[in-house]
Chains A and B, each alone.
Chain A
């Protein structure tokens, strides 16, 4: 269901998933590669991410992380700040800016 085909992403080695990003990371969303998580099918996770503004082209910054396992994380997406877990953030593919 991802908007940008995986083959395109493969050509840009700079793309990485937001779940692995460090605090202070700044980047732009390249695409979503949703998977089934937390009992949600891939399609539903993708829709939830979209509803919170995780759409291709949006700028993101990893602002904060929790104490245990550096989880959850707080992501600045354009004009909003969203808290989520690294597990689900891994569905967001980003390129550093």
Chain B
């Protein structure tokens, strides 16, 4: 604040609280769509900021800090939270007010954090969130008394309901000028934590009636979902349904997008002549721009369905259960139980997955998770898998009767996902043995929150952010790669009276042929060679590149018929080798740069690039030669 008057500049507020206290829901309610998230979607990991206008007319900048149990800052995430709270974070001005969000149904741990925060001397406001659920469960909190005992303003909030934040907004407007931070703050030791928890327990006893009644719904659900056997079976079924849905639900929307781009391409084709310079422009617009962007955009529905499932499971409270169920299996592979959530996020995209490994405190556990996260089948592989499966795997049920609802294509997809999971677990096992022999995995400790009905608003906001991130990628990296690929495959133009297809005169043809000897043992032709190069920039570009290469080659054929074109040109062995390659394919440039950032150097980036390239080549080689031996050549 200092010399500036409070009315002149925006009020800076930060939300602090335990994981699962409903902080992010509160943030969404307060800021709505006026929020900025770092480039990559994830689960409250990156810096998340938004703004809103208070009822008193004050513009408020709201920062959503990563959830934490204390200010001790064991993980990079918690370091950010501590530094912002203490006003020591670079490039973030000290907040004028900390809103400490506590789950009213589980005040005990939250209250200890509030007491810890109070010792920092920063201006604090306590928000008892999920107050409606607490009341519904018969938990009575004497808010006035709590405020008096804490010596802090306390308001109740219901983040997910309209009007549920009125008291908080009023308190923000009434907020007194901030005090000075206590420079002498230091992290509490065990004795300090004990003292704080006892103080919290004392306050709880004084202000809360029926403090620890267990949620009946959670109890009944957990009896089934955490059952040693049934729980694991249900987890597998949930994952299987998720992948079936990715295919079934997205299809109508995909057909629509595909038809739209086809119509657009046809319209451009009708406007411009085929010959001369205009022909080059026509080819650029039709084969490069429209076909390229269309072939990537068409996967937006699938990516949204996948993210919808991940967000639903996260909001419902199932993710922590999945980590519980998977802990021993992950542990067998040398991974931490907490690695399950980063790895599951990597199904959508390795970038948020790698970023959310920050919840893993131990450096080696974290590094092992980062190295194998790109092996989980990210959504960018979906276009590649869909194209090949659609062209080479018949669309029919696996069996009769009871099995008639399981599609063969979905089953193959599931198999590819399973291959990714198995190889991720296998590789982490290998890394743990080879790189960090004899170093134990950190203890697994995780809070299992009560189940909550996911809110449409939160889901919609989450999906919107992810759609935006994908479209931005499609609009920048992918689009520019497409233009480069089109250029390489269209220039130089064939001479007058050329008899061969146009592409055979292009740069792409020369490049493809140059790398072909290397790719022949794994069954790849020169067109694949051309597509693989940009595929390293972003995996899904490989599809668009194949589309461009084949569209330019077959000027008369429709670009959208790529699947049929491939079915006629590739052997089954090549198709299978291509799938095997993409199970391991070196991750996109964006993922590599995130690995570099998160591991603090190029070393691990090159390491993961190298080992994945070697695995991809090996897997494609074995698949191709094996399939040929079995007569699929």
Given contacts A3-B194, A53-B109, A76-B214, contact A83 B443 (CB under 8 A): no
Given contacts A39-B362, A55-B201, A79-B106, contact A47 B444 (CB under 8 A): no
Residues in B whose Cβ lies below 8 Å from that of A80: 106, 108-109, 447
Nearest CB of chain A from residue B335's CB, rounded to whole Å: 13
Task: Let me know if B443 and A50 touch, CB within 8 A.
Answer: no
Task: Let me know if A82 and B226 touch, CB within 8 A.
Answer: no
Task: Let me know if A67 and B328 touch, CB within 8 A.
Answer: yes
Please, what's the 1-or-0 string for A62-84, where 1 marks a CB less than 8 Å from any CB in chain B?
01111111111010101111111
| A82 to B447 alpha-carbon distance, docked (Å) | 4
Say yes or no for B274: interface residue by CB 8 A criterion. no
Task: Let me know if B325 and A66 touch, CB within 8 A.
Answer: yes
Say yes or no for B320: interface residue by CB 8 A criterion. yes
| A78 to B227 alpha-carbon distance, docked (Å) | 22
| A76 to B108 alpha-carbon distance, docked (Å) | 13
Task: Let me know if B108 and A50 touch, CB within 8 A.
Answer: no
Residues in A whose Cβ lies below 8 Å from that of B109: 51-53, 80
Given contacts A39-B440, A66-B324, A78-B108, contact A48 B445 (CB under 8 A): yes
Task: Let me know if B197 and A85 touch, CB within 8 A.
Answer: no
Please, what's the 1-or-0 string for B335-372, where 1 marks a CB less than 8 Å from any CB in chain A?
00100000000000000000000000010000000000
Q: How many residues of B contact A (CB 8 A)?
A: 47
Task: Let me know if B229 and A67 touch, CB within 8 A.
Answer: yes
Task: Let me know if A83 and B320 touch, CB within 8 A.
Answer: yes
Residues in B whose Cβ lies below 8 Å from that of A82: 445-448
Given contacts A43-B190, A55-B198, contact A79 B324 (CB under 8 A): no
Nearest CB of chain B from residue A8's CB, rounded to whole Å: 16
| A86 to B122 alpha-carbon distance, docked (Å) | 39
Residues in B whose Cβ lies below 8 Å from that of A81: 218, 447-449
Task: Let me know if A68 and B448 touch, CB within 8 A.
Answer: no
Residues in B whose Cβ lies below 8 Å from that of A24: none
Say yes or no for B303: interface residue by CB 8 A criterion. no
List residues 418-443 of chain B with CB under 8 A from any CB of chain A: 439-443
Given contacts A72-B444, A79-B107, A82-B447, contact A46 B190 (CB under 8 A): yes
Say yes or no for B232: interface residue by CB 8 A criterion. yes
Task: Let me know if A72 and B324 touch, CB within 8 A.
Answer: yes
Residues in A whose Cβ lies below 8 Å from that of B218: 81
Nearest CB of chain A from residue B225's CB, rounded to whole Å: 9
Interface residue range, chain A: 35 or more
Residue of B nearest to A32 (CB): B190
Residue of B nearest to A46 (CB): B190
Cβ 8 A contact of A85, one of B108, B190, B327: B327
| A88 to B197 alpha-carbon distance, docked (Å) | 20
Residue of A nearest to B69 (CB): A51
Residues in B whose Cβ lies below 8 Å from that of A95: none
Cβ 8 A contact of A83, one of B107, B212, B231, B323: B323
| A64 to B447 alpha-carbon distance, docked (Å) | 13
Task: Let me know if A84 and B444 touch, CB within 8 A.
Answer: yes
Task: Let me know if A71 and B328 touch, CB within 8 A.
Answer: yes
Nearest CB of chain B from residue A92's CB, rounded to whole Å: 12
Task: Let me know if A47 and B212 touch, CB within 8 A.
Answer: no
Residue of B nearest to A50 (CB): B193
Query: How many inter-chain contacts with C-beta < 8 Å in the A-B complex?
Result: 130
Task: Let me know if A50 and B107 touch, CB within 8 A.
Answer: no
Residues in A whose Cβ lies below 8 Å from that of B448: 74, 81-83
| A50 to B107 alpha-carbon distance, docked (Å) | 15
Task: Let me know if A38 and B211 touch, CB within 8 A.
Answer: no
Residue of A nearest to B332 (CB): A68
Residues in A whose Cβ lies below 8 Å from that of B190: 1, 43, 46-47, 50
Say yes or no for B56: interface residue by CB 8 A criterion. no
List residues 200-236 of chain B with CB under 8 A from any CB of chain A: 201, 211-212, 214, 218, 222, 226-229, 231-232
Say yes or no for B70: interface residue by CB 8 A criterion. yes
Given contacts A39-B362, A52-B445, contact A79 B211 (CB under 8 A): yes
Nearest CB of chain A from residue B404's CB, rounded to whole Å: 31
Nearest CB of chain B from residue A54's CB, rounded to whole Å: 9
Nearest CB of chain A from residue B219's CB, rounded to whole Å: 8
Task: Let me know if A83 and B324 touch, CB within 8 A.
Answer: yes
| A74 to B449 alpha-carbon distance, docked (Å) | 11
Interface centre among A43, A64, A84 (most CB of B within 10 A): A64
Please, what's the 1-or-0 string for B179-208, where 1 marks a CB less than 8 Å from any CB in chain A?
000000000011001100110010000000
Residues in B whose Cβ lies below 8 Å from that of A85: 327, 443-444
Residue of B nearest to A1 (CB): B190
| A13 to B439 alpha-carbon distance, docked (Å) | 35
Task: Let me know if A51 and B70 touch, CB within 8 A.
Answer: yes
Knowing that A37-B443, A50-B193 touch, tell me 9 more A-B residue pairs with CB under 8 angstroms.
Answer: A39-B441, A50-B197, A53-B109, A64-B324, A65-B228, A74-B226, A78-B212, A83-B445, A87-B443
A-B contact pairs, 17 of them (CB 8 A): A39-B440, A47-B72, A47-B193, A51-B193, A52-B69, A53-B112, A68-B329, A71-B327, A76-B212, A79-B107, A79-B212, A81-B218, A81-B447, A83-B320, A84-B443, A84-B445, A88-B444
- B interface residues, Cβ below 8 angstroms from A: 69-70, 72, 105-109, 112, 189-190, 193-194, 197-198, 201, 211-212, 214, 218, 222, 226-229, 231-232, 320, 323-325, 327-329, 337, 362, 439-449
List 6 A-B pairs, minimum CB-CB distance, nearest first: A79-B212, A67-B228, A38-B443, A68-B328, A64-B226, A50-B193
